[in-house]
Structure 1
């Protein structure tokens, strides 16, 4: 649950971020196209037939040569914040993975808002809920309302959701994707390749119990997404095998991210939320 205390902390956090973090992910972007824009870029030699209004007459007075100014157009970045709301994200106490993901998502949205960037937020499970990209506090309020009223349920259709979401991404954007990624590794890999040429932050979010299984003895395990049940005995050997499988799964995700130039982070819900922001932004 996102409350006013968290939002007040975000305001202080924004000031600290400006001092501590040098980030390429928030703030105005410069396009690679040169034209009559906002920021002076360079001079180049005038070619006959070009608009004489572009000539820099001050340079001509000094050099007797005709030069025109070129500019870089500043284009604002759209931040896309996408959160997994499938049943498995409801796991965890005292804070669920989804509640933690919601705070991360609102944090990124808040930073974008403070830089006057547009941001778009979405949740997915078996279907995708997409909200239009906008600027401002009203957009942030809509996001908080939606997240506070979202119930985690259903299967994680990660690939289907991202194939659908890709259609709403316009120009080059920044994407933040938060999930536990506890689905088949081939689906995760295909998803990452699907997202394309954007600045992407992938955050794998786990509960501490999932990260380091410490229980032992007889248990009845229930899959939160399929409701299938399994009785098993958690032995030291099983814990080792579980850890190896989880580490291998995560390593494959990270390897694919590295190949594609995607920033990968694994977090657990016992990490102080603002420490998590620093880790992801640095």
Structure 2
């Protein structure tokens, strides 16, 4: 089950955006325009080609000079949250990777609401399931209920999912992608092209067992996406080889994200959710 108690601890945080945001919706982020806006800012001298409708005739009556009003117009962004719901995410303790990923996603939706921004929550496996954008707290509660009733299933198709989601990006956005990223790093990098102009946070969620290979001896392993099984013996040497390969895999994912300006962070599903979230926001 998704624990939402940690959301209260997020009240002291804000979404950190480093790229310039523009959009057509009202929100707390401000841009400056000449003409009819929401908040008057100051005046500037008229220059040929300016819209004469913005001239302040009262100032002209006093000074006989043409001045235009500058308005401070509020604009906002949409926070896009995509959570991997393929079968491989249905693993882990005390939370499955899907539950932990969902909590992170809900945390970002909560921050968006706190700042009066819109959020759009989606899950993906072989395809993307999208939900309408919203600023309402009722919508957030409905999303938590939906995620609690969901069971991860199917094979993942990361690039196809990201390619198909691209059409939902309107203007500048913040994109949060949460997955275990147990897929080809080259595929992940190619998918990042879809969001090259956006603010992107890529979050890898792993379970402690698969991160540190806390298994040994004669075991039967099951692939959650293909349902295939195999028997194997995990020796100390194999454990070290596995950890080295996983670290190399993660490093390649990180490098591919960085090439497109995306922030990458790895979290483990048994760590305190607030600590993980704090590290992501740093």
Q: Normalising to structure 2: TM-score of the pair?
A: 0.87
The Cα RMSD (Å) is 2.5
Counterpart in the other structure of 1:16 = 12
Size of the alignment, in residue pairs? 275
**Farther off after superposition, 121-130 or 51-60:** 51-60
Q: C-alpha offsets along residues 15-41 of structure 1, whole Å, 9 cap, x if unaligned?
A: 332xxx673379733347655333556
Counterpart in the other structure of 1:162 = 162
Q: C-alpha offsets along residues 148-195 of structure 1, whole Å, 9 cap, x if unaligned?
A: 111111111111111111112212111111000001122111111223
SS of the residue aligned with 1:93? coil
Query: Does residue 218 of the first structure (1) align with residue 214 of the second (2)?
Result: no
**Farther off after superposition, 248-257 or 174-183:** 248-257
Counterpart in the other structure of 2:235 = 235
Q: 1:237 to 1:52 in 2, by over 3 A?
A: same
Counterpart in the other structure of 2:281 = 281
- In 1, are the aligned partners of 2:186 and 2:256 still within 8 Å (CA)? no
Distance (whole Å) between structure 2 residues aligned to residue 159 and residue 144 of structure 1: 26
Q: 1:247 to 1:34 in 2, by over 3 A?
A: farther
- In 2, are the aligned partners of 1:193 and 1:260 still within 8 Å (CA)? yes
SS of the residue aligned with 1:270? coil
- In 2, are the aligned partners of 1:126 and 1:156 still within 8 Å (CA)? yes
Q: 1:33 to 1:201 in 2, by over 3 A?
A: farther
Q: 1:42 to 1:266 in 2, by over 3 A?
A: farther
SS of the residue aligned with 2:168? coil
**Farther off after superposition, 263-272 or 226-235:** 226-235
Distance (whole Å) between structure 1 residues aligned to residue 15 and residue 109 of structure 2: 18
Query: Does residue 248 of the first structure (1) align with residue 244 of the second (2)?
Result: no
**Could you tell me how far 1:130 is from its partner in structure 2?**
0.5
**Could you tell me how far 1:89 is from its partner in structure 2?**
0.4
SS of the residue aligned with 1:37? coil
Q: 1:47 to 1:243 in 2, by over 3 A?
A: same
Q: 1:156 to 1:35 in 2, by over 3 A?
A: farther
Distance (whole Å) between structure 2 residues aligned to residue 142 and residue 31 of structure 1: 32
**Could you tell me how far 1:236 is from its partner in structure 2?**
1.9
Query: Does residue 272 of the first structure (1) align with residue 278 of the second (2)?
Result: no
Q: 1:113 to 1:235 in 2, by over 3 A?
A: same
Q: Normalising to structure 1: TM-score of the pair?
A: 0.87
Distance (whole Å) between structure 1 residues aligned to residue 161 and residue 264 of structure 2: 19
- In 1, are the aligned partners of 2:196 and 2:261 still within 8 Å (CA)? no
- In 1, are the aligned partners of 2:87 and 2:224 still within 8 Å (CA)? yes
- In 2, are the aligned partners of 1:31 and 1:72 still within 8 Å (CA)? yes
Q: 1:34 to 1:260 in 2, by over 3 A?
A: farther
SS of the residue aligned with 1:167? helix
Q: 1:59 to 1:278 in 2, by over 3 A?
A: farther
Unaligned runs of 5+ in 1: none
SS of the residue aligned with 1:210? helix
**Hey, which bits of structure 1, 4+ residues long, moved more than 4 A?**
31-35, 39-43, 48-53, 56-65
Counterpart in the other structure of 2:190 = 190
- In 2, are the aligned partners of 1:36 and 1:72 still within 8 Å (CA)? no
Q: 1:54 to 1:210 in 2, by over 3 A?
A: same
Q: 1:56 to 1:32 in 2, by over 3 A?
A: closer
Q: 1:32 to 1:55 in 2, by over 3 A?
A: closer
Distance (whole Å) between structure 2 residues aligned to residue 181 and residue 240 of structure 1: 20
